[in-house]
Amino acid sequence: SQQGEEDPQALSIQEGENATMNCSYKTSINNLQWYRQNSGRGLVHLILIRSNEREKHSGRLRVTLDTSKKSSSLLITASRAADTASYFCATSNTGKLIFGQGTTLQVKP
């Protein structure tokens, strides 16, 4: 069963705009992670936020976590065409990761 549900399923923006994608989950977690998948490739880890953290930054990425609402958001600022990919949230509780269905982001040049 899927733990995380992502919203929107698909997002199309212009280069330079910001992209926000959301993830909701059902049970308590130790951490929440975001991964990127380029078409036809494996997943690449982007950022991890622990359950006792509320916000984390990495370059153009900003992740927030609201454990009371069981939700997280990933913000990509000043998007580039190279950011076109699918983005997955994954929650960890028992050591195994449970992935959401992903958000497909298209950044138009």
Partner 1 sequence: NAGVTQTPKFQVLKTGQSMTLQCAQDMNHNSMYWYRQDPGMGLRLIYYSASEGTTDKGEVPNGYNVSRLNKREFSLRLESAAPSQTSVYFCASERGAETQYFGPGTRLLVL
User: Could you list the residues that contact partner 1 (CB under 8 A)?
Assistant: 1-2, 4, 31, 33, 40-45, 48, 88, 92, 95-102
42 or 109, CB closer to partner 1?
Answer: 42
| Residue (76 or 98) nearer to partner 1, CB | 98
Closer residue to partner 1, CB minimum distance, 102 or 107: 102
Please choose, from the candidates 107, 108, 87, 105, the residue with its C-alpha nearest in 3D space to the C-alpha of residue 4.
87
Task: Give whichever of 57 and 108 is closer to partner 1, judged by the CB atom.
Answer: 57
What would the two tokens of residue 28 be?
Answer: 């308590």
What order of strands is seen across the sheet that includes strand 19-24? 5-7, 19-24, 71-76, 61-66, 55-58
Quote the least distance from Cβ 17 to partner 1, whole Å.
25
**What's the rounded Cα separation, in Å, for the pair 58 and 65?**
15
Least Å distance, CB 86 to partner 1, is 9
Least distance in angstroms from the C-beta of 95 to partner 1: 5
- Quote the distance between the C-alpha of residue 92 and its chain's center: 14
Q: How far is the CB of 77 from partner 1 (least distance, A)?
A: 23
